[in-house]
Amino acid sequence: MVKRYSFDPFINTGAVVREVPLSSSEPKPFSLSNGVFSLHMDEHMRIYGLGESIRGINKRGWIYESWCSDDPFHTEEKRSLYGAHNFLLFDGEERFGAFFDIPGRITFDLGYTDSDTVVITPERFALDLYIITGESLKAIVSEFRTLIGKSYLPPMWAMGYGQSRWGYVTEADIRRCADAYRDARIPLDMLYLDIDYMDSFKDFTVNSERFPDLGAFSAEMKERGIRLIPIIDAAVKKESGYDVYDEGHREGYFCKDEQGEDFVVGVWPGMSVLPDFLNPQASRWFGMKYKRLTDLGIEGFWNDMNEPALFYSEKGLNNAYKEIKELDSKRLDALSFFGVRDTLVRLQNAEDDYKSFYHETPEGRVRHYDVHNLYGYRMTESAYNALCELRGEPPLLFSRASYIGAHRCGGVWTGDNHSWWSHILQSLQQMPGLNMCGFLYSGSDIGGFNGNCTRDLLIRWMSFALFTPLMRNHAAFGTRSQEAFAFGDTEVFRHIIELRYRLIPYLYRSLKEAVERDEMYFRPLVFDYEDDEIAATVEDQLMVGDRLMIAPVYRQNAAARHIYLPEPMTQIRMHEGDISTEELNEGWHYVSVPLGDVVFYTKSPLELAKPARNVGELNFDDTETVGS
Ligand code: MIG
């Protein structure tokens, strides 16, 4: 059951698709005073949800803030990442879900300040609150999901493995990568194009020296079973003569400052402007620009920098110049040096900039700051609507920033993680939260984005990520190569990636069913075994689809780990491409998992396809059954 409480919302966020009558009762079990929702927690209460956020599956004990942020350091003390997913599931003596539908900042203190108390503080008291009850954790999630509408389902080929790297600059770089995968006989379905394919980082342009004929190149790759997936950034280069800028400027489709002038920010293309994705005309206009790339045979995109990320604004930069000039006249001491340094650092994603521009929405003019968390969502929606219209079917599409609602239009990747062991576990722990909020097609940058990857890290990361719907290896500019062929011996990677393809019949069916039935693809164990007190504390295993359980190794040098089975299961082991099984009883086991073996568990027989070079070549009818 869903109850809705309304507290002066000034904009329809679009998150909710079902009409829910207003409830006049108190928003129980919260108590509300002075614009703050609070709740006393019993000793055993656990809290799930909050989508893409850091720390454990059970969120109790930390403080979170929804504020879509371009922050490439996903360390434990952070409160926000790229998404704003304000759904929580409280599991104590009282069991209920709560969705705080608010486009701006909101803080969730989940027993951080006072370990027995939840304190939820919307910065501006303008929101809808939905309280959701149901028979089980799963039922509450499903009820919530029917409220927010069906999740995005990508085309089947998007279940293939993808290789990406910020640093493939030319057609030759991409072809070399494709060839290396072919030569190593490692399956591959997608190669990603990062910002360097563009002409001066201008959206919807192609650098003609680097890619003389993208249409022909994309056809050549497709012939080989590989799709090219270009990036699109949110901001548009401010340059007269660049038609996207000229048109948008003329039509008033960019966000405006206080005086009604286009608000100018610095991002990759240099001085840039921000499409007003909250203005339906502007959104449609921008979305239709993807046609330039679909006309070249492109079938999928990733949307980046849509928090929106701002390196600086024209306004902020001018203020900083002034400060530096003043300093010039003083004698430079350490404190003024640090002052100036901080001024420059603070230019990035500055709160003052987010307060300095406006959107034209159907509800009137709104300040960006108050609706900040909707921007990435609306960019994804812009692309999704246009691409569905242009293609007659959904594209491959995923985004960095998001709000609930965007789950209907695309997936998400979890942004700029690091080549750190802790980020394998972090990624695992993010998946169920994302799934609760409807983001099913998701995954992390395999091998880690920032920092240098090592062979063992990549093997372990992939052995987990082969279960994530979005399976993409991606790395930052200037980092060490981390493709599956980069570490000399390719066999070990070929076996792992082949296992992914062998599992696609099961994984894609699980994804599709999760979409159709408003369910989760990844679940914490406790969702399936509610009365099992041990299952409720397991933070490094997940259920995948209706019958699999995974328990990956994510520690450096570990060659074995403890796993917990809530019921007897068949252990499936892939060793050098061969599959073997073993029946295990319920309870704890210490399982040997040498580097390169993939070990997982099934409750009932599982079908495995034969390996294939790409999804198109997979034979869904030729499967073998393993497990009992
Ligand atoms: O400021 O396009 O998260 O995946 O490779 C960095 C370059 C911009 C951030 C994305 C990352 C991408 C990178 N982008």
Q: Which residue among 52, 91, 203, 307 is the active-site one?
A: 307
Ligand 1 centroid to 535 CA: how many Å? 37
Task: Output the DSSP codes for 432-495.
Answer: HHHHHTT--SEE-EET-SBS---HHHHHHHHHHHTTSSSEEE---TTSPP-STTTTS--HHHHH
Our answer to whether residue 307 is catalytic in this structure is: yes
Core vs surface per residue 449-461: b (16+ CB within 10 A) or e: bbbbbbbbbbbbb
Residue 327 confidence (pLDDT) above 80: no
Cβ 608 vs Cβ 620: under 8 Å? no
Global pTM value: 0.97
- Cβ–ligand 1 contact at 194 (below 6 Å): yes
How much is the pLDDT for 326? 80
Q: Which tokens is 86 given? A: 């304000």
Q: Which tokens is 344 given? A: 């420059």
Mutate to test the pocket of ligand 1, among 268, 304, 310, 348 (most ligand atoms within 8 A of CB): 304
Stretch 100-124: mean pLDDT? 98
Sheet of 312-313: strands edge to edge? 236-237, 270-273, 264-267, 312-313
SS3 166: coil
Residue nearest to atom 5 of ligand 1 (CA): 166
Give Cα separations from 34 to 38, 112, 121 (angstroms): 11, 20, 10
Torsion-angle region of residue 58: left (phi > 0), alpha (psi -120 to 50) or beta? beta
- Cβ–ligand 1 contact at 448 (below 6 Å): no
Positive or negative, the Cα torsion across 203, 208, 210, 215? positive
Ligand 1 centroid to 477 CA: how many Å? 9
Ligand 1 centroid to 363 CA: how many Å? 33
Torsion-angle region of residue 61: left (phi > 0), alpha (psi -120 to 50) or beta? left
- Cβ–ligand 1 contact at 74 (below 6 Å): no
- Cβ–ligand 1 contact at 400 (below 6 Å): yes
Q: Which residue among 71, 171, 189, 304 is the active-site one?
A: 304
Task: Output the DSSP codes for 42-79.
Answer: PTT-EEEE-SS-SS-SS-TTSEEEE-----S---TT--
Residue nearest to atom 8 of ligand 1 (CA): 305
Ligand 1 centroid to 304 CA: how many Å? 7
Residue nearest to atom 13 of ligand 1 (CA): 166
Residue 335 confidence (pLDDT) above 90: no
| End-to-end Cα distance, the chain | 37
Ligand 1 centroid to 232 CA: how many Å? 10
* Exposure on the CB side of residue 415, measured as CA atoms within 13 A: 26
Residue 596 confidence (pLDDT) above 70: yes
Count the Cβ atoms, other than its own, within 10 Å of residue 119.
Answer: 17
How much is the pLDDT for 324? 85
pLDDT digits (tens, 9 = 90+) for 8-58: 999 999 999 999 999 999 999 999 999 999 999 999 999 999 999 999 999
Q: Residues in the chain, how many?
A: 628
d(CA 180, CA 350): 43
How much is the pLDDT for 332? 66
Ligand 1 centroid to 482 CA: how many Å? 16
pLDDT digits (tens, 9 = 90+) for 179-220: 999 999 999 999 999 999 999 999 999 999 999 999 999 999
d(CA 479, CA 354): 31
pLDDT digits (tens, 9 = 90+) for 249-293: 999 999 999 999 999 999 999 999 999 999 999 999 999 999 999
Residue nearest to atom 11 of ligand 1 (CA): 416
pLDDT digits (tens, 9 = 90+) for 370-416: 999 999 999 999 999 999 999 999 999 999 999 999 999 999 999 99
Cβ 431 vs Cβ 542: under 8 Å? yes
d(CA 515, CA 507): 12
How much is the pLDDT for 514? 98
β pairing state of 471-473 and 161-163: parallel
Amino acid (one-letter) located at 342 = D
High-pLDDT (> 70) share of the chain, %:
99
Identify which of 283, 286, 209, 284 has the alpha carbon closest to the alpha carbon of residue 243. 286
Our answer to whether residue 416 is catalytic in this structure is: yes
pLDDT digits (tens, 9 = 90+) for 125-169: 999 999 999 999 999 999 999 999 999 999 999 999 999 999 999
Mean of pLDDT over the chain: 97
d(CA 199, CA 203): 8
High-pLDDT (> 90) share of the chain, %:
95
Core vs surface per residue 269-298: b (16+ CB within 10 A) or e: bebbbbbbbbbbebbebbbbbbbebbebbb
Residue nearest to atom 12 of ligand 1 (CA): 166
Q: Which tokens is 363 given? A: 């509800």
- Cβ–ligand 1 contact at 411 (below 6 Å): no
**Residue 364: band (very low, low, confident or very high) from pLDDT cuts 50, 70, 90:** very high
- Cβ–ligand 1 contact at 166 (below 6 Å): yes
